[in-house]
Structure 1
Amino acid sequence: MNIQMLPERQVISAVEVAALLGYRCRESFSRSRREALEAAGFPKKLPGLNGWSKPAIMRWLENNGELASNDDAPTQPTPLERRFA
């Protein structure tokens, strides 16, 4: 018997995005809230796929909602780090 592992999906739905962001329901991830998040650098919905890139969202979350920089300069403390300093 040959068992194949399915690869993890890379495109996720609004329900899954809402869960990743800690919202209780899909309606919390409304268009107006999405627009505010996108203004802060949140990844936009993928055209033609009716979903969002999970890797892009995970990168955005790992950077505390800030765009990742490509330079090697020392990073400033994140808002979360400043809060507990």
Structure 2
Amino acid sequence: MAKTKVTAPQNTHVESKADIKKKIQLLGDEYITAIKDHQKASNDVRRIQSQQKESEILDISLALDVGILRGSDFSLSHGE
């Protein structure tokens, strides 16, 4: 009977320490870029929300001013 030799599969793709360090550096750079992009987007959202609040306040202020003027006109026209 013939004997066969059984071997474990060989890892044909071996990365050097330099390759691994380079990949880690690239991932770190991508992470830093993503964090900066996220921070910029967050700041943009805050700025837009602030502008919307200012616009709403101006709209309310204008509505109150118009309402007060109309109220004054109304009270004057009714003998008050």
TM-score class normalised by the smaller sequence: under 0.3
Please give the TM-score of this superposition, normalised by the length of structure 2. 0.23
Higher relative contact order (CA 8 A, sep 6+): 1
Q: Which has the higher helix share?
A: 2
Please give the TM-score of this superposition, normalised by the length of structure 1. 0.22
